[in-house]
Every structure is written in C-alpha cells, then in structure tokens.
Amino acid sequence: GAVVSQHPSWVICKSGTSVKIECRSLDFQATTMFWYRQFPKQSLMLMATSNEGSKATYEQGVEKDKFLINHASLTLSTLTVTSAHPEDSSFYICSASTPIAGITDTQYFGPGTRLTVL
Amino acid sequence: AQSVTQLDSHVSVSEGTPVLLRCNYSSSYSPSLFWYVQHPNKGLQLLLKYTSAATLVKGINGFEAEFKKSETSFHLTKPSAHMSDAAEYFCVVSRGRNTGFQKLVFGTGTRLLVSP
C-alpha cells in the first residue's frame, strides 16, 4: 500500500520550454502533497506543499511563478516548470501524505523525475 | 528550528558485518524522526519512524534505530549487512509545529557501501 507514482521518470527539454511532471497516489487519497528538489549527491530540499483544492505554499526562495503546482484531486498533483533553463536541471521528487492511516507526518515518496534542460 | 546532522557522508562495510549510520538531531520539542533509504534511480523508502513511543524502533529489512534524548541521537543499525543494503540513507526530522508538522527536514545523507 501507499504507492506514489511520477510521470515521466525522465525528461529532456530545450531551454525556454515548459515541462509538466505528474505525481499520483495510486492506492490512497492524499490530502497533502509535497514537491522536493534534489541536486546530484545532495539532500532533498522542500520546494512547496500543496493541499487538495487550495493554492500551494512555497518555501522561501522558490519562485512560485516558475514552479507552478496544481493539486486538483486527492490523487493527483502536477508541477510545471515554466520557461525552463539549464539551472533548473535536477531530480524532482514528490511525496504524498494522508491522515487516513492515522499517521499524518509520514510521507510516501514517488520515484522521482530527472529533468535535463539543454 | 529542527535540523539533523549525519556524521558520515560514506560508510563502508563488508557483507555480514554490522552497520552503524549516525545521526544527531536538534529540535526545540520532542521530534518525529525517520530514516529513509534511496536506492539508485528509485524513490525514497521509509525504513522506520520514531514518534515518542518506544525509544528502540524496529524497521524493515532488519534495521533498527534507538532514540537517545540525552545524546540527541537517532543512529541506524543493522546486525549484518547485505549487498542489497548498498544505498543512500537519509535521517529526517519533522519540522516545527508552527510551520506545519508534516514538513520534513532531511540530513545530507550517508552512502552505505557494502563489499563482498
């Protein structure tokens, strides 16, 4: 149980284009989803928190107009990297959390999406 | 503010020998602490979690961790390493109540290398 998927698993795009990454909770309803960024050989940095049906809350230093997050349903959140540039190349990981299990601070992570911007 | 420090960036062990991955935390209140494992090109998997119940927490794949408040530590151990344990391990603490206790703060990670 508690499986989270991401699509695509990797994507290469040209500078200036936009890329959308999907995060789905497959067997549970996720009231909260999180988006992280991981640089090579580094730790995960939280980018934003999204609750279903409301606007995402971004961490300090994260450009909300560049990283658009939509959490339209209890099983789907999307991250759109707009006007991507090479410095946006990274590993993006989502996670999902639900209070249904009675544990509200356990996050279940997706496999990640590797974005390369040329 | 909550934070975790993983004391070793790399740990090398031989298959069949014990594993010790060290983690110290800083928190202004009783924290929730986690260990996650990340295999190459795969998502993070929860190994175990401490939430102020028993101080010795048993996880999956034979791993366990002990919460020691006096030492502010939450070290991860396993009696006998397997080749399949080779991965990146992250010690994680829940962030402050005022900012939403679901938010996690990750350590910098420890890469476990297991040799035959």
- Taking only the tens place, the pLDDT of each residue in A60-111 is 999 999 999 998 888 999 999 999 999 999 999 999 987 644 446 678 899 9
Quote the distance between the C-alpha of residue A111 and its chain's center: 11
Cβ of A51 under 8 Å from any chain B Cβ? no
Model pLDDT, residue B53: 73
Nearest chain B residue to A37, by CA: B106
A47 part of contact set with chain B, CB < 8 Å: no
Q: Mean per-residue pLDDT for A9-21?
A: 96
What pLDDT shows up at residue B31?
80
As a whole number of angstroms, the distance between CA A46 and CA B102 comes to 12
3-state secondary structure A48-68: EEEECCCCCEECCCCCCCCEE
List, run by run, the mean pLDDT of 10-residue segments along chain B (116 residues): 90 97 87 90 86 87 94 96 96 68 84 96
How buried is A65 (Cβ within 10 angstroms: 0-12 exposed, 13-18 middle, 19+ buried)? exposed
Cβ atoms of B48 and B64 closer than 8 Å: yes
Contact B48, B55 (CB under 8 A): no
pLDDT at A58 over 90: yes
Mean of pLDDT over chain A? 89
pLDDT of residue B98: 47
Residues of A in contact with B43 (CB under 8 A): 4, 6, 93, 109-112
Query: What is the structure's pLDDT at B94?
Result: 83
Q: For residues A98 and A4, is the Cβ–Cβ distance under 8 A? A: no
Q: Report helix, strand or coil for B3.
A: strand
Q: Which amino acid is at B84?
A: S
What's residue B99's pLDDT? 46
- Interface of B to A at Cβ within 8 Å reads 32, 34, 36, 41-46, 49, 51, 90, 94, 100-104, 106-109
**Chain A residues touching B41 at Cβ < 8 A:** 111-112
Predicted confidence at residue A1, as pLDDT, reads 67
pLDDT in the model for residue A95: 93
CA quadruple A76, A82, A84, A89: dihedral sign: negative
Q: According to the model, what pLDDT value does residue B96 have?
A: 55
Closest-CA residue of A relative to B46 is: A108
A116 forms beta bridges with A12
Nearest to A106 among B43, B49, B103 (CB): B49
